[in-house]
Structure 1
């Protein structure tokens, strides 16, 4: 009877909604809605030749090179912002009031934060601190055009250090904060840094490995926060300084007399070490001009950037080009940045004490960037809450979602439903987000559509690489499609080059396909001290630099790019079929039972296999449903009944995602180890490290193929 009652109520709501639709949206219904017509392109080729470059319509003349015509370098960009927005809030940080132990239902004890409100430094404050820090570093012997390392988590002090180095023409070397000792030693020694900046939490990492880094003379550490670092036990030949002391040193009159050596557009701004998904990290050389071009292109795709009272939430690694360029673009346009971290970002985050507010609830950002893994988690968490609610609330949300989806596809909106139904979903990210950008890996169409509809804001996909300053494409806010990454930005152009082995050609019908090449001022200078790899991936044609991405793309009629494959991810099975590993993984991660997965295919085998990181709640519920006795969720991972059920769900999800039979994995391993950057199996941007994963699970892989 309850189900019948729910059906009747939802049916009545649907009738009322239809009447309201007819009254409120009659003009729209008569004109066919406000959907952007597919005949209106976003980009086009510069000639009729199949290999001709694709450009955004607004850059068919010249490619963009700067956000402001008055600024040629990154230091000038921030100086301009500091003059215009002098007293406006710039960088915000939540004070850690206390750290307390909290006992979980399973008896485990975790440390939780009690956080205060955001406190803000103005643009003038940040500019002054950066000036003093740069001057202080110079007084400690740091020279212009001499590399300096920033090795720290994302926070205000990271950005202040960056701005100081840009002012004084100190090229910044970046390494991910979760890298292992060997990778840190490699990056420090290869870049020959004598000075390094780190946080009070990470300084301990250097104590043991400093003897293997003979060039290091000075360590500057952040001395802000609840816990002060232990600076004892370091080698005597290395001098340690707190950041506040270096700033004080730089503020002295005798040091102020040192005039910074102004950088040029051709000067190195950053040597950004990639996450090393295939081995030791490579240093990508990025000039001031490269970043200026890339940021110009990115900013042009964000509606009304700098015209609204925007707040950006910074929590992704600043050692990643996506976050660095996003934050510097925000600052250049007077947008304030509030800092967070993945462990405190929402009310439900693992470091937030029960009953306390997460960072988004306090900050209420309007702009944020993300990566697919995080968006997939949000998607699953929301549906999990909905499915665990009452039958009526579940039916109501499903009706509202499907109803809005129909309006959304036509370019319309549902203001009433947004206030009554989707307001609670929006509140998960603070309630004020007006645009989200996702990059770093493919975002599933299902997750993108859900975020667009439920969070009531456009979720744009972007495509870019460290080698292109993170700039390449960003989907337009008016583009309501999914599964595509947008048109080329105004700073660059794209070409598709035939890849015969994979049977991709730029003469393919109905859409041209091929390996994606990016050209423009945002294409970086190459790999640090690696001329052979630079020559392999970079080229210069008619004075313009090009980068060969290794990705396979397809340009559709409206000039929007879709990534369809990756050369390195393509494995040929024994029977001759090609399996795109990342394509299969994107599809399978939509399964509620799966948090993450890695598909593996041996070219001597007939089928692919899959390593799965389970969703712990779903796994526990599945164990209860199957009546399996267990003491921990780790034990569940080994149960044959669980493995059988996961394989069954993978088959169902594969068919639902329209994967070919040979693409769907035929064996599965449910892994008890959660893949975090600290494990060395994923990067800081949460991309899979396939080589390391294969090595770690080689025994299990052999068993699945035996």
Structure 2
């Protein structure tokens, strides 16, 4: 018996209509696209002769409580509910690259579960509280990767206003966007790190830079006493030790500040409230047993 996800061995809400066996949480169930609520287990769909006359579509059988953490309606609560609901389900995947030639992408992906992404986001949010207070402004600037979303979730959990900035901005545009939003903390990847170190002299409120990648090759001579550099992994580790309560947000409060591309001058900043951002997610807290994958090119 193959289990698509096998962190736990508890009964699901489904059973096989052929052998009457209760399917396990995370096991594949094969659902008939015509018959109402009709499922086979993997063994029966492969061995029953004659086979079921209609198409059977593989889906995951889940058995977790589907209403936890959904009583309060805000983005942070919804993200935490998804983490709890689908904790051992695949959440974010990155395309693998050739080890000898990293410029060559492979056809496989490396996945992190909702449990992993959620745990990292919560710990990173706790760790960020040593650098920034709730309702402070934090810039995210990196190419597309799980750490981008982990940072965004961490900001939601601690009511920190995220300020995403394009990596394609020139130095003048980056400095303008940071100063225009009073950013005090920047979270970036290793490629953007040298640029932010150089630009910090133009950004008087910038106090901390958190790099998503290890920064062992950064020397003290590259910075001064006004700027602190941190590794994201160290912040997560600190957050696993010292934890804070979640900080709630009001619907009309600013959740994020999104910058325009800057094609017609300096980038313009758009303040997006929590309720406006949440309106983009119509299936609010609705459980899904469908394994749907969405491709994301930019963060």
TM-score by length of 1: 0.31
Flag the structure with more relative contact order, 1 or 2, with Cα contacts below 8 A and sequence separation at least 6. 2
Which residue does 2:58 correspond to in 1? none
| Matched-pair contact (CA < 8 Å) for 2:211–2:232 | yes
**Matching of residues 321-400 of structure 1 within 5 Å:** none
Indicate the structure with greater helix content: 1
Alpha-carbon contact 2:127-2:236 (below 8 Å) kept: yes
Write out aligned runs for 1:240-639 (5 A): 240-252=229-241, 255-256=242-243, 258-296=244-282, 306-316=288-298, 318=299
Counterparts of 1:116 and 1:231 in 2: how far apart (Å)?
A: 34
Match of residue 130 from structure 2: 139
Q: How many pairs does the alignment contain?
A: 228
Residue by residue over 1:592-631, the C-alpha shift from the partner in whole angstroms, topping out at 9 and shown as x without a partner, is xxxxxxxxxxxxxxxxxxxxxxxxxxxxxxxxxxxxxxxx
Does residue 172 of structure 2 align to residue 182 of structure 1?
yes
**Paired residue for 2:78?**
77
Aligned residue for 1:373? none
Q: Secondary structure at the match of 2:279?
A: helix
1:117 aligns with 2:112: no
Cα contact 1:269–1:286 (8 A) shared by 2: yes
Taking the aligned partners of 2:234 and 2:109, their CA distance within structure 1 comes to 24
8 Å contact from structure 2 (residues 97, 103) kept in 1: no
In 1, distance between residues paired with 2:74 and 2:100? 42
Alignment CA distance shift 1:175-1:99 (3 Å): farther
Work out the CA distance in 2 between the residues paired with 1:172 and 1:89: 25
Deviations 1:578-597 (A, max 9, x none): xxxxxxxxxxxxxxxxxxxx
Greater C-alpha Rg: 1
Deviations 1:394-429 (A, max 9, x none): xxxxxxxxxxxxxxxxxxxxxxxxxxxxxxxxxxxx
| Match among 166, 185, 199 for residue 189 of structure 2 | 199
Distance 1:306 1:198 in 2: 33
Task: Name 2:159's counterpart in structure 1.
Answer: 169
Q: Is the 8 A contact 2:134 2:247 kept in 1?
A: yes
Q: Distance in 1 between matches of 2:192 and 2:119?
A: 26
Gaps of 5+ in 2: 1-68
RMSD (Å), alpha carbons: 2.4
What's the CA shift for 1:295? 2.3
Contact 1:98 1:115 in 2 (8 A): no
Q: Go from structure 1 to structure 2 and tell me whether the alpha carbon gap of 1:278 and 1:153 turns closer, same or farther (over 3 Å shift).
A: same
Structure 1 residue 159 and structure 2 residue 149: aligned?
A: yes
Shift of 1:242: 0.7
Give the 3-state SS of the residue equivalent to 2:190 in structure 1. Answer: coil
1:260-308, Cα deviation, whole Å (9 max, x unpaired): 3212212211100111221111110001100111222xx59xxx99452
Q: Distance in 2 between matches of 1:166 and 1:160?
A: 10
Q: Distance in 2 between matches of 1:112 and 1:150?
A: 24
